[in-house]
Amino acid sequence: MHNCNNYYGFIKYKILFILFTAIFFITNNLVLASNINNESKSKEINSAIPLDFTSIVEKVDSSVVNIRTITKTNKETNLLYNDPYEMFRWFFGPNFPNNIPIPDNQYIQPQQEEKSIPKGLGSGFFISNDGYILTNNHVIVDANEILVTLYDGREFKATVVGSDDRTDIALIKINIKKSNPLKIGNSNILKKGQWVLAIGSPFGLDFTVTAGIVSAIGRDTGDYLSFIQTDVAVNPGNSGGPLLNLNGEVVGINSQIISRNGGFMGISLSIPIDEAMRVADQIRKTGKVVRGKIGVQVSEISKEVAEAIELPRFGGALVSFVERGSPADQVGIQPGDVILTFNNLEIKKLSDLPRLVGQTNPGVSANIDIWRRGKLISFIVKVGEIKSDTVSKKEIHKKTINSNKPSNIILGLELEELSYELKAKLKINGGVYIENVSGVSLKAGLHKGDIITVINNTYITSVDHFNSVLEKINNIKKPIGLLVYRGDNAQWIIINPYK
């Protein structure tokens, strides 16, 4: 009996040993399988993160170009005044630094000397195999000469096909047998968090590549366009260069940065390529950009106003002004109406309306839903055409200034007519734009870009009118008072060229 008990005890311990051994191996294998599975997932995630962009960059490098611009100006030379900023102007432009006073005892009547001054640096990229290049308007505006450098070092003079100030798009062309265009992507399918690359010439460092992610889509800055926001490093000189996805397709044009010091601070803005190509195609085909208009000015709606007028949803665009005789006026849209939809598309924020209307072809009949005194009212509006602010190559060549006019001889001013859009923006009926400034006007503090609306007590309507009034003042040798707009501020500047 004792032996039997020992036998059963042995069997029991053996069974327990086998069970514990089996549990150990099963548990160990489960942990191992779990670790392998996690490692596999980790590798899968890491493989999705592009640690090396070499293949993408090698594919697109030859499609990107460096752009240098040169402007010719009548530079004033003065034998008694040694300008210590001359060297700096070659790097920072002809207006560096602003508001430097010229000592009276060192100033004499200057001599005119035409000089070519480097104006700026930018980037661009080929969109066709016959030399068409897309860039920013602000890169090439006012340039007398545009030089394009390719990745292989070849340099070409470019001509302006056309440009559009509203979207900051310019189309230029070089004479080349074959160019390597970038593939055009779809900016509408971009998502936050996707990787993107930028190629350009920041601070003149040609063909620099930077990478980052899409931070936001449809970023509204108050401009005509909404932008793609990224954290890709973009600096002066990157303007006009491509924003690329991981397929090597261009999805945007690097255009702006938001910065407190002029350098990169983590917020870059790019023009969506869909809008850029729409503009470029129109410029290439017709030399101008056609946009729709309905003839209203709109403003933002506050939550308090939305609640007070019992809007069915927060959003829309509040009509503040209706142009007389415009499409909106003809169908009965009134100030105080809130436009909720245009052509069956919802107006979520103020900037949606001008963008949607602008993208609509003139002549199209569009549905508009408005909210008026607690009721939803629908209109059908025949879209009109907005006056184009596109500048074609032909118009640029016509843009010449007669240096024999009194404004130039007496005051040293080169003047241009004001655009309708600028008059509307400043809420003025007339005035002239200062294109260049020298002599007594420079000494008095006038700047290029200033707008003169009044000379002495006379409101100015055009350049010819300004010169006519100036001739009369010149006959009696009176001091000349100019009411000048600089940005949103107006000030009087007195000039006495007869001292």
**Which residues are documented as binding site for substrate?**
138, 168, 237-239
Instruction: Show the tokens assigned to 202.
Output: 């920041």
DSSP string, 308-362: HTT-SSS--EEEEEE-TTSHHHHHT--TT-EEEEETTEE--STTHHHHHHHTSPT
CA separation for the pair 255, 370 (Å, rounded): 35
CA separation for the pair 255, 281 (Å, rounded): 19
CA separation for the pair 226, 275 (Å, rounded): 10
CA proximity to 234, closest of 205, 257, 204, 261: 257
3-class secondary-structure state, position 102: coil
- Residues annotated within a binding site: 138, 168, 237-239
DSSP string, 415-438: EEEPPHHHHHHHT-S--EEEEEE-
CA separation for the pair 397, 240 (Å, rounded): 23
Residue type, 10: F
Dihedral sign, Cα of residue 217, residue 223, residue 225, residue 229:
negative
CA separation for the pair 134, 172 (Å, rounded): 7
CA proximity to 50, closest of 273, 264, 245: 245
Would you name the residues annotated as active-site residues?
A: 138, 168, 239
What are the angstrom distances between the C-alpha of 305 and each of 107, 285, 300, 316? 59, 45, 10, 12
Question: From the CB of residue 32, how many other CB atoms can be counted at a distance below 10 Å?
Answer: 10
3-class secondary-structure state, position 370: strand
What are the angstrom distances between the C-alpha of 253 and each of 116, 205, 226, 304, 446? 29, 18, 12, 38, 34
CA separation for the pair 59, 280 (Å, rounded): 23
CA separation for the pair 317, 311 (Å, rounded): 12
Instruction: Show the tokens assigned to 133.
Output: 């290049």
Number of H helices, E strands in the chain: 13, 28
CA separation for the pair 415, 449 (Å, rounded): 10
CA separation for the pair 466, 250 (Å, rounded): 47
3-class secondary-structure state, position 303: helix
> How does DSSP classify residue 229?
E
